Amino acid sequence: LIREKIGGIAVVVMALIVALPVLAQETPPAEPEGYRLENYHGPTPATLKGATVIDTARAFDIWNNKGAVFVDTVAHPTRPADLPKEASWQAATRLDIPGSIWLVDTGFGELTTSTLRYFESGLVRATANDKSKSLGFYCRTNCWASWNAAKRSLSLGYKNVSWYPGGADGWEKAGHPLEERQPEPRD
């Protein structure tokens, strides 16, 4: 009887050891009803209602066939608050998917009126005011900025929206080309 219990426990322990990698994987958070308003860097949902979620292979295929306008929505780096005033600081160069546009700071959950206008006018220019034109939103891996911006574009009436959660990080990791990018100018 003791041997059977020990054997049973060993089986349970072995099952847990085999399952640990699966248990350790974090379940993606559910989509919020509105926009993500804080903690923009962290696990993102696996879905975005109304949009197509694409992986790196699909993003590369779309890019390679010039099938969408890619839109980077990552925030512009700001000078660290604790950096002494006399210290020199320059934002790191942003490397993006070639041909993308960078609509800087447009992925926050709440946008100022001027930033919303900048986002809207940037999309109008990028799509030649064609709301059926395919758009692919990205920023970095585990970044809500592109999720928020893709969701916002849907609310503006864009009909062919993709969200690429792998971002420029996933693109680079796959060995795809990158190019230096500057933010689109504000009107």
How confident is the model over 65-95, as pLDDT tens digits?
999 999 999 998 888 888 888 988 788 889 9
State the pLDDT confidence band at 8, using cuts at 50, 70 and 90. Answer: low
* Distance between CA atoms of residues 70 and 57, nearest Å: 15
DSSP character at residue 114: H
pLDDT of residue 25: 58
- Convert the pLDDT of each residue in 90-138 to its tens digit: 888 899 999 999 999 999 999 999 999 999 999 999 999 999 999 999 9
Q: Is the pLDDT of residue 52 over 60?
A: yes
* Distance between CA atoms of residues 145 and 179, nearest Å: 20
The rounded mean pLDDT for the chain is: 88
Beta-sheet pairing, 94-96 with 135-138: unpaired
Residue 153, classified by CB atoms within 10 Å of its CB into exposed (0-12), middle (13-18) or buried (19+), is buried
Lowest mean pLDDT among 30-34, 114-118, 174-178: 30-34
pLDDT of residue 76: 83
Neighbours of 77 (CB within 10 A): 12
Q: Residues 154, 50: contact at Cβ < 8 Å? A: yes
Q: Is the pLDDT of residue 17 over 50?
A: no
